[in-house]
Amino acid sequence: MRRREALGRIGRAALAAGVLGVVPARGHARPDVCDALGAAPIRWLVGWSPGGGYDTYSRLLEPVLERELEREVVVENAPGAAGLIAARRISGARPDGHTLGILNGTGLLITPLSNPSFSFDIASDFTILARIARQDQVLFLGRGTGIATIEELVERTRGGQLVLGGTGFGTVNLLLAATLEDLFGMRVEQVLGFAGSSEVIHAVRQGWVDGGVISEEGIFRDATVVPLLRFSPQAAGDSELSAIPRLEGSAGLIATRPELFVDPRRARVDAEALASVTSVGRLLAGPPGLPSDLEACLIGAVARVLGDPGFVTAAGRLGRGLQPTSPEAVARDLASAIAARPRFEAAIRRALTRQRG
Amino acid sequence: MPGLDPGSVVSAALDGLALVLAWPNILYPIAGTLLAMCVAVLPGISGATLMAIVIPLTFHWDTLQILLLFGALVGGATFMGSTTAILFNIPGTGPNAATLLDGYPMARQGRARTALACSALSSALGSTVGVFLLILLIPAVVVLGPRMGPPEYLMLSLWGLVCIVTVIRASVVKGLVMAGFGLLISLVGLDPMTAETRYTLGTIYLQDGVGLIPVFVGVFAIAEIIDLLATGRRTVSGETDVAALGGTTAEGVRAVFRHFGVFLRSSLIGTGIGVVPGVGGTVAGFVAYGEAARVAGKDGRFGEGDIRGVIAPEAANDAKDGGSLLPALAFGVPASAGTALLLVALQIHGVTPGGDLMTNDLDLVFVLIWSLFISNWLSSLLGLSLVGPLARLSVVRVSRLVPPILALSVIGAFAYRGRVTDVWLAFGFGAAGYAARRYGWPRIPFIIAIVLGPLFEVNLGLSLRLHELGRIDLWTRPSILLVGVLIALSVAVPRLPRRRGERS
């Protein structure tokens, strides 16, 4: 086999490189690169454990950003409270450019609906450097349900029950699952508390739940599950996602199959609001109050990193979609998302009340 | 998942072994083990951290290389974590925490050599039992493993909690009170089912609950530092000359065979827990420890330096390792951060966990398992060779030992989640742990309850919800009945009255 033959060629050299590579390279400040940025390393905060999507994006960014800024970038995982702990650290850091990180913008936007005590105003509590990707949220079912299309789902469950699994903390998924009830008229029961999306998929395969809402592209290469509906306005560069029916837009289900919806007019407004909320996506950010020259320098460096061919290729190999977006465009999306947010208060409250019994 | 015939499993296992042993492939598990052992000396820094650092370097690697290296990284860290647990009362990682319950008391009694040797051999042999059981049972495991769900996890945690009663020696009431405190602490944070906040004092920090490693470090390591200083003890062992130490490497090796039943039972528990998707090594260690204590009954001196308290968690931890790769590779459900990162690394190379991998590339699955197996043995053999020098640390004067132990404790508490607050939390639990020790309140039930509480709670909620929705029938699942019988037997064995008789 090719992979076995290749081993002999690479051998010890790769191992030595691996071992040596564990030691981070020291950065050397160059005067013409971001003058306003000190020579100290940059701490890059990730609010989740190693191995997940946010961590993977960050570790792919790290070497390219180091090269762009000529400063050492240290990725630090500060997991907890669905990313809120890292978000608070980024927001509260000194505005010197040495504390940056990645945020779940959509999650931060939705959190106040289920947990009013902990909320951020994304626009004023952070300096947004870019959006790296939207979150492609997809409703999927297990193949064992015998349902292969959204039409079949509506036909078989309208007036009946659909059981969806979730982690309980992913309020975006909670929101999307809860909204299905208003859109299609089935009763959606959520089983929350699974440790992660892998556990939800496992439960789907076993028939303990019918399906779930997930944002990981890899799932759709799995023959045991069927993707049915995409909530995101556009897929993040993954052709497999592009093939999944979407809710809104001229080619969306509401436009092409309005009879599937309980109230197509209301569904259209809901879908636009959902698209708006999910479009905030994964943000690269720093603390508020960065000096304007430093902010401009960091935004420029991040933009170059997101367009770097090596970075784009590596992200593609990992199935991590990219939709680089400027801070100005993110600000516009944020404004419309914040305006849309109250529309979902009732759905979230209903889902949590049912869950809490 | 299609069925597998035993012949093809054995053939794949042999093919996998040949691949691992081929030159230069064998260098990868060796290098990975050494790397993991070096990092594992720092408490709180696990093989997973190392993997996260290594992943970007493996983009251009071959799948086989990744399997060889990552198998070793998953397995290499465990033994070194046990050494800090035994010598300093500091668990290197969560799965090592149960080892300190009796390992450290042995070090205090001057028997560090015995405990270290016993730990090393139990690990290596436990790993062997785990791998060979897996080869024998893989066809059944592939079919039955994924059927284990929330009700089975619930029963598993309930079994562990029932075992708490058996590790209480001083006072049943005190033990139950401490277990209750442990369960209460485990409730701090967001409700896993409803996301409601509980006992968070309005802070974001406590939303995530109380971290296990800071609690372990505090209740055991920092409490021990306070005790060493308060009692004016000269050294951990009480001896200042290594020649005066009791216990030998040979004694530790013999103990494993003398208590072969404990070893075998713990290995079986570890393997069983390993193949259940989503349950980690910390649970395996504590459940095996609790069961060993339960079986020992009045003959045991668990928590006071009973060597069976070292054998059980060490055997279970390493027996679990091989099995835990199976749910990750066959069903894509990782049991730990390490296996989650392994899946990430494999997916970079287009290897998707699932039926195809288990049927068409089973030899590659065994490459990973054998690499981990070799790593377990290698780290244990290196550990055995280091028993003498390591045991010398138990005769180092307390005044010289306290600063590095304190530094390791602080690093361990901080490195767990990268939060300074965790260090303060460790000191808080250190003071509480010292008070508990000083006034005879047992710490083991507290710790076991903290470990098993979340597993119990979330699976109770999931089981009831799935039962309510008609998706799982709690009363007809054979696995529930089986574990239920085990629990009933645990309770029915009339040990508590005999203990009361002893005290009176």
Mind listing the pLDDT tens digit for each residue in B317-326? 888 877 777 7
- CB within 8 Å: A193 and B192: yes
Closest CA to B189 of B157, B211, B217, B215: B211
Listed ranges A45-59, A298-312, B218-232, B260-274; the one with the highest mean pLDDT: A298-312
Render B259-318 in DSSP notation, one character per residue. Answer: THHHHHHHHHHHHHHHHSTT--HHHHHHHHHHHHHHHHGGG--TTTT-THHHHHHHHHHH
Q: Which residue of A has its CA nearest to B343?
A: A51
Nearest to A84 among B52, B204, B278 (CB): B204
Residues of chain A found within 8 Å of residue B150, distances taken between Cβ atoms: 208
| Mean pLDDT of the A274-281 span | 84
The H or E element spanning position B73 is: helix B63-88
Share of chain A above pLDDT 90, in %: 22
From B143's Cα to the closest Cα of chain A, the distance in A is 11
Q: How confident is the model at residue A20 (pLDDT cuts 50, 70, 90)?
A: very low
Q: Find all residues with CB under 8 Å of B41, minimum gap 6, and list them.
A: B80, B83, B84, B92
| pLDDT per position as a tens digit, B134-147 | 777 777 766 666 67
Asked if B325 and B317 touch (Cβ cutoff 8 Å), the reply is no
- CB within 8 Å: B195 and A169: yes
User: Does residue B353 have a cis bond before it (omega within 30 degrees)?
Assistant: no
- CB within 8 Å: A171 and B195: yes
Residues of chain A found within 8 Å of residue B146, distances taken between Cβ atoms: 202, 205-206
Residues of chain A found within 8 Å of residue B419, distances taken between Cβ atoms: 78, 85
Cα–Cα dist B255/B307, whole Å: 7
- In this structure, is the dihedral angle defined by the CA atoms of residues B236, B241, B245 and B250, taken in order, positive or negative? positive
Q: Where is average pLDDT lowest: A8-17, B270-279, B416-425?
A: A8-17
Asked if B37 and B382 touch (Cβ cutoff 8 Å), the reply is yes
| Mean pLDDT of the A308-323 span | 82
Mean pLDDT of chain B: 79
CB pairs under 8 A between A and B: 182
CA dist list (Å): A316 to A130, A138, B115: 19, 19, 49
Q: Where is average pLDDT lowest: A28-32, B113-117, B390-394, B402-406?
A: A28-32
Please state, as a whole number, how many other Cβ atoms lie within 10 Å of the Cβ of residue B82: 33
- CB within 8 Å: B333 and A356: no
Cα–Cα dist B302/B496, whole Å: 15
- CB within 8 Å: B202 and A15: no
Nearest to B52 among A59, A118, A318 (CB): A59
Residues of chain B found within 8 Å of residue A314, distances taken between Cβ atoms: 59
- CB within 8 Å: B471 and A208: yes
| pLDDT per position as a tens digit, B206-230 | 877 888 878 888 888 888 889 888 8
With 80 as the cut, is the pLDDT of residue B327 above it? no
Interface with A, mutate which of B23, B37, B45, B57 (most A CBs under 10 A): B57
DSSP state for residue B244 in the 8-state scheme: G
Q: Where is average pLDDT lowest: A25-29, A213-217, B160-164?
A: A25-29
| Mean pLDDT of the B238-259 span | 82
- Strands of the sheet containing A99-104, edge to edge, are A73-77, A42-46, A99-104, A282-286, A127-133
The ipTM value here is 0.75
| pLDDT per position as a tens digit, B182-212 | 999 999 987 777 767 788 887 877 877 888 8
In the numeric block, the tokens 């647990």 are attached to: B85
